[in-house]
């Protein structure tokens, strides 16, 4: 990214304007307005004043609830995930938040749910990282904006597992790392990813190393649906790796992960 604009706030405005100039179709305009509404711009200014974001650059992804942008702080590239306040499907968020004991005191207004969701993603990433799972390191969560480590090189994000070509000999290795991460998440971080698939795993090229992302919806084991989510996560991974001729029984993996939980509980007695 170039750094010729001196004022940081101006820089953000310019980049936001550029988004409008680049793509003039009405759909993108709508996206732009939905993402950079007044409160979000204010939060970006706050982050800029705190020197957390120096400049905001191009769009990396437009998802169902959030947009991801490449940005930079004073030293390096960072990733900025902005949950859209206006178009977020917060009804589906509510289900995840309500069953989570960490969010008992969250008020139920749409904004508050989105802010809690953003904080939840940050906390989930911290817990995952502490349990030894490779995830983007969260930097700051401020209202609906999560700033985190940029997982990529020279401004290009690492590819998703989905579009990544794995050699057959490494497929099994990567599969095992992923299953081990699911196990560590459950038994060490007390978390279930909840949306694990080939889309929410990035691959570091050459090293063939998986990185888990997108943990806003991850729930603790106490969540009434955590067991369903765990089963689904495992099934998604097993299904995806069939194309590499890896045959695994999701039920067996599930049981082995749950049995460790029971052992841990016995040791606690």
- Catalytic one of 25, 77, 183, 195: 195
Site string for ligand ATP, 76-95 (x = CB under 6 A): ---x----------------
DSSP string, 58-103: EEEEE-SSEEEEEEE-SSSEEEEEEE-TTT--HHHHHHHHHT-GGG
- Is 195 a catalytic site residue? yes
Name which of 137 and 249 has its Cβ closer to Mg ion: 137
Would you give the DSSP letter of residue 160? B
Q: How far is the C-alpha of 104 from the C-alpha of 197, rounded, in Å?
A: 28
31 binds ligand ATP (CB under 6 A): no
214 binds Mg ion (CB under 5 A): yes
157 binds ligand ATP (CB under 6 A): yes
The one of ligand ATP, Mg ion, none whose footprint includes residue 151, by CB under 5 to 8 A per kind, is ligand ATP
Name which of 157 and 258 has its Cβ closer to ligand ATP: 157
Give the Cα-Cα-Cα angle 107, 193, 59 (nearest 5 degrees): 80
Minimum gap (Å) between residue 31 Cβ and Mg ion: 17
Name which of 101 and 163 has its Cβ closer to ligand ATP: 163
Sequence-ordered list of residues with C-beta below 8 angstroms from that of 106, at least 6 positions apart, any chain: 97, 112, 113, 116
Site for ligand ATP in 107-136 (CB under 6 A): 136
175 binds ligand ATP (CB under 6 A): no
First to last CA, the chain: 55
Q: How far is the C-alpha of 137 from the C-alpha of 231, rounded, in Å?
A: 26
Stretch that binds ligand ATP, among 16-24, 38-46, 122-130, 151-159 (CB under 6 A): 151-159
- Catalytic one of 77, 100, 214, 233: 214
Q: Is 19 left (phi over 0), alpha (psi -120 to 50) or beta?
A: alpha
User: 82: which strand partners?
Assistant: 67, 145
Name which of 151 and 253 has its Cβ closer to ligand ATP: 151
Q: How far is the C-alpha of 120 from the C-alpha of 122, rounded, in Å?
A: 5
Minimum gap (Å) between residue 161 Cβ and Mg ion: 12
- Is 13 a catalytic site residue? no
The one of Mg ion, ligand ATP, none whose footprint includes residue 68, by CB under 5 to 8 A per kind, is ligand ATP
Contact 205, 232 (CB under 8 A): no
As annotated, the active-site residues are 195, 214
Query: Interface residues with ligand ATP (CB under 6 A)?
Result: 60-61, 63-66, 68, 79, 136, 148-152, 157, 160, 199-200, 213-214
């Amino acid at each position: 990214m170039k750094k010729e604009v001196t004022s940081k706030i101006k820089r953000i405005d310019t980049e936001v304007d550029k988004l409008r100039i680049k793509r003039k179709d009405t759909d993108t305009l709508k996206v732009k307005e939905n993402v950079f509404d007044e409160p979000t711009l204010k939060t970006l200014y706050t982050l800029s004043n705190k020197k957390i974001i120096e400049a905001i650059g191009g769009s990396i992804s437009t998802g169902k609830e959030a947009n991801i942008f490449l940005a930079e702080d004073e030293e390096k590239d960072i990733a900025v995930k902005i949950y859209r306040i206006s178009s977020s499907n917060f009804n589906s968020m509510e289900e995840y938040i309500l069953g989570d004991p960490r969010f008992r005191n969250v008020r139920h207004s749409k904004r508050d749910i989105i802010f809690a969701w953003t904080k939840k993603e940050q906390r989930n990433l911290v817990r995952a990282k502490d349990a030894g799972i490779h995830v983007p390191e969260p930097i700051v969560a401020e209202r609906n904006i999560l700033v985190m480590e940029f997982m990529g090189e020279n401004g290009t994000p690492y590819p998703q597992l989905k579009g990544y070509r794995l050699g057959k000999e490494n497929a099994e290795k990567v599969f095992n790392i992923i299953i081990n991460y699911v196990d560590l998440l459950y038994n060490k971080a007390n978390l279930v990813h909840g949306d694990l698939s080939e889309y929410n795993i990035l691959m570091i090229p050459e090293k063939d190393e998986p990185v888990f992302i997108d943990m806003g919806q991850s729930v603790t084991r106490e969540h009434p649906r955590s067991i369903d989510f765990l089963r689904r996560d495992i099934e998604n991974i097993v299904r995806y790796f069939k194309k590499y001729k890896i045959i695994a029984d999701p039920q067996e993996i599930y049981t082995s992960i749950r049995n460790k939980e029971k052992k841990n509980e016995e040791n606690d007695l």
